[in-house]
Chains A and B, each alone.
Chain A
């Protein structure tokens, strides 16, 4: 089993739709959680960190469920520019700097 797993998609959704991605992780000692976005042939960029209480940034909402070891990302009112691969990233025990990427989920927002 991979350390961090995601549904690879692709998710094809119309503009304006709400779409949700899940990510599961195997190491229960994991401390930090993030969502990154990667455009085609570009480097990954941080979309948002995921906090225990859940957090929101504009149209994006991230949630963490430690008991079930998954994190989620909700995108509301999808835009064409949201088309990208979304990668969840998990860091293990604090201080190890071991950031592991999930398998990634491709999103295509259609006009």
Chain B
């Protein structure tokens, strides 16, 4: 069972709706991620938060707005999405690098994803 919890598991929304995806982890990880995955494609990095600060934004359209209220929570606010935004949205977390003799684990722990359909 994954230790990263994502809600909702499924979401259907219209192009004028505002909704949010939520992600929670209690492993003490200080890096949290949003990835987008379309069918038969690899996960595509969207945002990275490190110590609750946005450290990477991969030129994601502003209709996606991330938020990290504290070290355990990560939200993705959705507004005025397009049908092509329909995808699986994966949240992940990772422990800090520099552990275990400088190598770090590098493991990304993923949630089960939120499957989004935009009508």
B contacts with A: majority SS: loop
Question: When chains A and B are docked, how far (Å) is the Cα of A36 from the Cα of B45?
Answer: 15
Asked whether any CB of chain B lies closer than 8 Å to the CB of A96, the reply is yes
Q: Are A103 and B106 in contact (CB under 8 A)?
A: no
Interface residues on A, range: 20 to 34
Question: When chains A and B are docked, how far (Å) is the Cα of A97 from the Cα of B105?
Answer: 12
With both beta carbons as reference points, the residue of chain A lying nearest to B48 in the complex is identified as: A97
Q: Are A94 and B110 in contact (CB under 8 A)?
A: no
A53 to chain B, nearest CB (A): 12
Contact among B31, B48, B56, B108 for A46, CB-based, below 8 A? B108
Contact A43 to B45, CB < 8 A, known contacts A32-B106, A97-B94 = no
Q: Number of contacting residues on B, CB 8 A?
A: 27
Q: Are A49 and B94 in contact (CB under 8 A)?
A: no
Contact among A96, A97, A101 for B43, CB-based, below 8 A? A101
Across the interface, which residues of B come within 8 angstroms of A45, CB to CB?
110
Q: Are A99 and B108 in contact (CB under 8 A)?
A: yes
With both beta carbons as reference points, the residue of chain B lying nearest to A98 in the complex is identified as: B56
Asked whether any CB of chain A lies closer than 8 Å to the CB of B34, the reply is no
Question: When chains A and B are docked, how far (Å) is the Cα of A99 from the Cα of B50?
Answer: 13
Question: When chains A and B are docked, how far (Å) is the Cα of A44 from the Cα of B33?
Answer: 13
Asked whether any CB of chain A lies closer than 8 Å to the CB of B42, the reply is yes
Given contacts A43-B113, A97-B31, A104-B41, 14 further A-B contacts (CB under 8 A): A32-B103, A43-B2, A43-B90, A43-B110, A44-B43, A44-B108, A45-B110, A49-B105, A87-B42, A87-B43, A98-B45, A99-B33, A101-B43, A101-B45
Question: Which residue numbers of A lie inside 8 Å of B, CB to CB?
Answer: 32, 34, 36, 42-46, 49, 87, 89, 91, 94-104
12 pairs, A vs B, C-beta closer than 8 Å: A32-B97, A36-B108, A42-B112, A43-B110, A43-B113, A46-B107, A46-B108, A95-B98, A96-B56, A97-B31, A97-B48, A97-B56
